[in-house]
């Protein structure tokens, strides 16, 4: 197991180095940050001065060498936009995104597994049809539309919930609900499909013949074997949110890493882009590792 | 019984939590801005949202320009006089303290100016208002400062209305906690969430009515408008026209921006006056008002708003006359002007609401009279390579869609940049116009206004400098509980002391 984790860590580190090199040079191709930070009326002297202060006048290889040397002592450089360490900016945003992803994915996983399993138990029944109908709508609903409609209905018209922000637990209801819809629809379909296969297998028929009740058949005998493909999809969806739920963060004013990353790319805040990519990549590496371990836990045939 | 008890408890809990979430203090206001303040340094207060938090709330200036009267009023300076050409003496107010407790004096003014123009920190105020000439401040005594400029700046007191004053101890790097002499101090800053200002008890001036202001950030206009509607916020200084649907709470105000098409006077065919006139006559400006542009937008005859010194109200926008435009083009063509050459319209994505639609309509109008035009919408970085000098030698005929902001009341902040032969964004090359601009720049008082008026008339009538379009408006939503009406200044600042309660 330790050997497996070590191998995965080395492979991920190599990928990360490649990613950092690529992003460092590609991001510089987007243009000069002075064009965006200084007013359009700014003189050539002011632009030159801005570049000098931010080390943008040096040749690219010199800039890269300096970046790598700083990175070796865990100095990710400063954000041009915020004039403070880029890693502080990124970690502050990432904490919000991590919370949002955890809460959403816990709710999604629980709801999708329970409803998907029950739907698979009686394929074609009323419950199955209703669950399938709503899951397909959820899987195809655009986030930005859902978010605006949710604000208009629940905050403006009914006045049940705040429009946006992060102050109280009520502020989390709309963003989490909007984020919930799409992965819920997708995972429910995967659970349903997987469980239909499992529940029609020989060992489940044997269990039924032996008089085992429905609930243990679904949630004990069936679910464990049906979970392998579901875990893969859960991991994929969680990675999507960890990379930033840009639309939800933008509309609901959640200061997460997705909006930060988009703003930083648009504003050419290179150090923040690089720090955000490294933090996201590390989080996704850890999550993939957990998924691999979960495979081994669910299926005794898988051993590392 | 149990059911009723549960319902009653739920309602009570809901009411408590709900009130905790949405309550507003009596004398507190919440202002929802369109983007988070990345920097909160006073020397960056010329940026709209930073200015809305800092200007005259935390950071004060020696003088204040009042757009409604076009007058310069004393603030931290009690008076000023020109001692000789280019040299001004400012008498400072005594008994003023910064929010950190230190006393305000001449050394603070000297340091604030040196910091703004220092090459160790990229201050926007320095680059925007104090670039292109030498300026130096010397403390005569605790309450007297001499400021000299070379070449002489007759509007130096007006320039000082842009210089935010910081304590002498402020380092030559961006500060995260601004300190100023204003009626408020920053008591909280939660990155990504909010900024809180609270009223100072030891403020030197009249105590404002607003005790506390919380600034929050939402990038979506409809969310900002909804927040004011449901009472979560009191002012949304900028909302889109589409969201300004409530006559009781939504205000349109001139936002000091002017849109225009910059013409290239050095490249054929727009180097020919008849072609430039034809371009102007081809545009049905009235057709845009109330359709693609706001109903309150005003047709422009200069690149500065009507509240600017020297603005000539007698100038008339070019009338829509496509027949005359066709005649002018035919005359130019007969004289060998290559009027059939393709002219590229260069637009910037997101420059103003409906910008792509406006440019497409303009393109159709130009084509209708016989021009061969194409439209390219560019991202800001690429757009700037067309907008700013040095222009490419092989650029070919082009018109650049542009927008200019001047809320400072004097054309000097516009004319050299926009119309000087070496102006950063100028498409004009006329030595005689350069002389007129230089003469107006050096003049003072009524003569100055008259000379600027001549400059603007010359650009509009004689040279036909651009295709001027509209003085723009912005939209704000204000809670009915407040006594506050947005003005042209709302584009760059939001003085809490001007907000009252009904």
DSSP-based three-state secondary structure for B222:
helix
Q: Which domain holds residue B206?
A: 7-34+183-249+479-501
Cα A137 from Cα A181, distance rounded (Å): 9
DSSP-based three-state secondary structure for B275:
helix
What value of ipTM does the predicted structure carry? Answer: 0.80
Same domain, B377 and B435: yes
Closest CA to B146 of B137, B134, B155: B137
Which pLDDT band holds residue B238 (cuts at 50, 70, 90)? very high
Q: Which CATH number among 3.40.50.150, 3.40.50.300, 1.10.3470.10, 1.10.3720.10 corresponds to the domain A86-303? A: 1.10.3720.10
Residue B261 in any domain: the answer is yes
Same domain, B318 and B336: yes
Residue B492 in any domain: the answer is yes
Cα A224 from Cα B245, distance rounded (Å): 55
Same domain, B428 and B483: no
If you average pLDDT over each of A19-23, B43-47, B342-346, which comes out highest?
B342-346
Domain count, chain B: 3
Cα B498 from Cα B210, distance rounded (Å): 9
CB A33 within 8 A of CB A269: yes
Query: Which of A239-248, B50-59, B167-176, B183-192 is least confident?
Result: A239-248
pLDDT given for residue B23 in this prediction: 43
Cα A168 from Cα A175, distance rounded (Å): 13
Same domain, B489 and B403: no
Tokens of B484: 């506050």
The three-point CA angle A157-A159-A165 to 5° equals 115
Same domain, B95 and B136: yes
Predicted confidence (pLDDT) per residue in B374-391, tens digit: 999 997 778 888 888 888
Kindly list the residues from chain B whose CB atom is less than 8 angstroms away from the CB atom of residue A162.
21-22, 230, 232
Cα B477 from Cα B149, distance rounded (Å): 42
Cα B495 from Cα B55, distance rounded (Å): 7
Q: Is the pLDDT of residue B320 over 90?
A: yes
Per-residue pLDDT of chain A (304 residues; tens, 9 = 90+): 788 888 888 888 898 899 999 999 998 888 888 877 777 667 777 788 888 888 888 999 999 999 999 999 999 999 988 888 999 999 999 999 999 999 999 999 999 999 999 999 888 899 999 999 999 988 888 888 999 999 999 999 999 999 999 889 999 999 999 999 999 999 999 999 999 999 999 998 999 899 888 888 888 888 888 888 899 999 989 988 887 688 888 899 888 998 888 888 888 899 999 999 999 999 988 888 888 888 888 887 777 6
pLDDT given for residue A240 in this prediction: 86
Distance of residue B413 Cα from the nearest chain A Cα, in angstroms: 9
The pLDDT mean for chain B works out to 90
Residue B235 in any domain: the answer is yes
DSSP-based three-state secondary structure for B235:
strand
Q: Is the pLDDT of residue B1 over 80?
A: no
Q: What does A162-230 look like in DSSP terms, one character per residue?
A: -SS-SSSTHHHHHHHHHHHHHHHHHHHHHHHHHHHHHHTSHHHHHHHHTT--HHHIIIIIIHHHHHHHH
Q: Is the pLDDT of residue B300 over 50?
A: yes
Domain spans of chain A, in order of start: 86-303
Kindly list the residues from chain B whose CB atom is less than 8 angstroms away from the CB atom of residue A36.
380-381
A37/B229 CB distance under 8 A: no
Cα B132 from Cα B155, distance rounded (Å): 14
Tokens of B1: 């019984």
Residue B41 in any domain: the answer is no
Nearest CA in chain B to A171: B21
Please compute the mean of the pLDDT values over residues B439-447 and round it to a whole number: 89
| Most A CBs within 10 Å, among B48, B162, B192, to test the A interface | B192
Cα B372 from Cα A191, distance rounded (Å): 60
Q: Is the pLDDT of residue B350 over 50?
A: yes
Distance of residue B318 Cα from the nearest chain A Cα, in angstroms: 28
Same domain, B115 and B147: yes
Which CATH number belongs to the domain containing residue B72 in this structure? 3.90.76.10
Nearest CA in chain B to A82: B38
Cα A197 from Cα B425, distance rounded (Å): 69
Alpha-carbon torsion, ordered B163, B166, B169, B173, to 10 deg: -70
pLDDT given for residue B179 in this prediction: 97
Tokens of A105: 């994915």
Nearest to B384 among A35, A45, A89 (CB): A35
Tell whether B23 is within 8 A of chain A (Cβ): no
Which pLDDT band holds residue B46 (cuts at 50, 70, 90)? confident
Same domain, B241 and B309: no
Same domain, B485 and B456: no
Closest CA to B502 of B479, B473, B486: B479
Tokens of B97: 């303290």
Please compute the mean of the pLDDT values over residues B287-291 and round it to a whole number: 94
Residue B381: its H or E element: helix B380-387
Same domain, B368 and B402: yes
Which CATH number belongs to the domain containing residue B27 in this structure? 3.40.190.10
Residue B296 in any domain: the answer is yes
Q: Is the pLDDT of residue B330 over 60?
A: yes
Same domain, B149 and B264: no
Query: Which of B82-91, B285-294, B295-304, B386-395 is least confident?
Result: B386-395
Cα B35 from Cα B49, distance rounded (Å): 8
Cα B166 from Cα B118, distance rounded (Å): 14
Same domain, B21 and B86: no
Which pLDDT band holds residue B442 (cuts at 50, 70, 90)? confident
CB B466 within 8 A of CB B263: yes
Tell whether B1 is within 8 A of chain A (Cβ): no
Tokens of B246: 């409530």
Q: Is the pLDDT of residue B495 over 60?
A: yes
Kindly list the residues from chain A whose CB atom is less than 8 angstroms away from the CB atom of residue B192.
92-93, 96, 255
B222/A148 CB distance under 8 A: yes
Kindly list the residues from chain B whose CB atom is less than 8 angstroms away from the CB atom of residue A30.
381
Residue B49 in any domain: the answer is no
Predicted model pTM? 0.83
What are φ and ψ of residue B401, in 5° steps?
Answer: -70, 125
Predicted confidence (pLDDT) per residue in A132-168, tens digit: 999 998 888 888 899 999 999 999 999 999 999 988 9
Which CATH number belongs to the domain containing residue B418 in this structure? 3.10.105.10
C-alpha to C-alpha distances, A142 to A183, A218, A274, B97, nearest whole angstrom = 12, 32, 29, 54
Closest CA to B122 of B50, B37, B41, B53: B41
Q: When comparing pLDDT for A103 and B422, which is higher?
A: A103
Same domain, B188 and B156: no
Nearest to A46 among B120, B127, B226 (CB): B127
């Amino acid at each position: 197991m330790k050997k497996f984790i070590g191998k995965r860590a080395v492979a991920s580190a190599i990928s990360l180095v490649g990613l950092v090199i690529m992003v460092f040079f590609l991001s510089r191709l987007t243009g000069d940050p002075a064009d965006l930070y200084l007013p359009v009326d700014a003189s050539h002297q002011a632009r030159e001065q801005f570049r000098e202060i931010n080390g943008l006048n040096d040749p690219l290889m010199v800039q890269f060498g300096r970046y790598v040397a700083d990175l070796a002592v865990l100095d990710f450089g400063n954000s041009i936009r915020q004039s403070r360490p880029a890693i502080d900016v990124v970690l502050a945003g990432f904490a919000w995104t991590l919370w949002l992803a955890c809460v959403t994915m816990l709710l999604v996983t629980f709801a999708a597994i329970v409803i998907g399993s029950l739907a698979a138990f009686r394929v074609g029944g009323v419950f199955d049809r209703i669950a399938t109908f709503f899951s397909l709508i959820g899987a195809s609903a655009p986030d930005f539309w859902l978010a605006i409609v949710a604000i208009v209905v629940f905050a403006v018209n009914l006045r049940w919930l705040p429009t946006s922000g992060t102050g109280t637990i009520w502020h989390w209801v709309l963003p989490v609900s909007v984020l919930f819809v799409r992965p819920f629809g997708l995972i429910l379909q995967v659970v349903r499909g997987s469980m239909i296969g499992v529940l029609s297998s020989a060992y489940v028929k044997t269990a039924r013949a032996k008089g085992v009740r429905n609930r243990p058949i679904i949630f004990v005998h069936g679910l464990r074997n049906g979970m392998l493909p579901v875990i893969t999809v859960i991991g994929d969806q969680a990675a999507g949110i960890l990379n930033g739920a840009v639309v939800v963060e933008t509309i609901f004013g959640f200061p997460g890493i997705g909006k930060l990353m988009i703003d930083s790319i648009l504003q050419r805040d290179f150090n923040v882009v690089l720090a955000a990519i490294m933090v996201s990549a590390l989080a996704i590496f850890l999550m993939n590792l957990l998924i691999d371990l979960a495979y081994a836990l669910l299926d005794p045939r898988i051993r590392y | 019984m149990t059911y009723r008890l549960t319902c009653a408890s739920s309602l009570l809990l809901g009411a408590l939590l709900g009130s905790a979430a949405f309550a507003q203090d009596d004398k507190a206001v919440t202002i929802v801005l369109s983007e988070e303040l990345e920097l909160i340094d006073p020397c960056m207060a010329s940026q709209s949202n930073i200015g809305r938090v800092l200007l005259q709330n935390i950071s004060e200036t020696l003088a204040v320009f009042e757009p409604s009267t076009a007058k310069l009023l004393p603030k931290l300076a009690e008076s000023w006089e020109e001692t000789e050409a280019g040299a001004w003496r400012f008498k400072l107010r005594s008994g003023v303290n910064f929010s950190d407790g230190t006393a305000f004096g001449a050394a603070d003014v000297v340091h604030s100016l040196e910091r703004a123009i220092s090459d160790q920190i990229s201050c926007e105020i320095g680059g925007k208002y104090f670039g292109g000439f030498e300026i130096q401040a010397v403390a005569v005594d605790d309450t007297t400062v001499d400021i000299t400029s070379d070449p002489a700046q007759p509007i130096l007191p007006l320039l000082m209305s842009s210089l935010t004053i910081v304590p002498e101890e402020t380092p030559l790097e961006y500060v995260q906690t601004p300190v100023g002499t204003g009626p408020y101090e920053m008591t909280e800053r939660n990155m990504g969430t909010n900024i809180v200002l609270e009223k100072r008890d030891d403020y030197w001036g009249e105590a404002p009515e607003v005790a506390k202001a919380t600034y929050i950030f939402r990038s979506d206009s409809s969310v900002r408008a909804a927040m004011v509607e449901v009472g979560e916020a009191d002012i949304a200084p900028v909302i889109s026209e589409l969201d300004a649907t409530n006559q009781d709470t939504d205000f349109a105000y001139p936002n000091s921006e002017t849109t225009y098409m910059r013409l290239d006077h050095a490249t054929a065919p727009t180097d020919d006056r008849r072609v430039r006139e034809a371009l102007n006559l081809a545009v049905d400006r009235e057709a845009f008002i109330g359709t693609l542009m706001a109903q309150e937008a005003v047709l422009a005859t200069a690149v500065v708003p009507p509240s600017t010194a020297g603005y000539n109200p007698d100038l008339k926008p070019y009338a829509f006359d496509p027949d005359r435009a066709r005649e002018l083009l035919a005359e130019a063509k007969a004289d060998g002007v290559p009027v059939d050459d393709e002219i590229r319209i260069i637009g910037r994505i997101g420059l103003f609401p409906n910008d792509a639609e406006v440019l497409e309509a303009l393109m159709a109008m130009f084509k209708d009279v016989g021009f061969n035009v194409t439209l390219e919408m560019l991202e800001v970085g690429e757009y700037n390579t067309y907008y700013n000098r040095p222009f490419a030698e092989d650029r070919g005929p082009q018109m650049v869609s542009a927008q200019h902001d001047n809320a400072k009341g004097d054309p000097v902040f516009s004319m050299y940049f926009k119309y000087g032969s070496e102006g950063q964004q100028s498409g004009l090359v006329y030595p005689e116009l350069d002389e007129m601009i230089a003469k107006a720049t050096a003049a003072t008082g009524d003569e100055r206004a008259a000379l600027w008026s001549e400059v603007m008339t010359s650009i509009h009538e004689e040279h036909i400098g651009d295709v001027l379009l509209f003085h723009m408006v912005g939209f704000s939503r204000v809670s009915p509980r407040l006594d506050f009406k947005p003005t042209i200044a709302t584009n760059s600042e939001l003085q809490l002391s001007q907000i009252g309660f009904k």
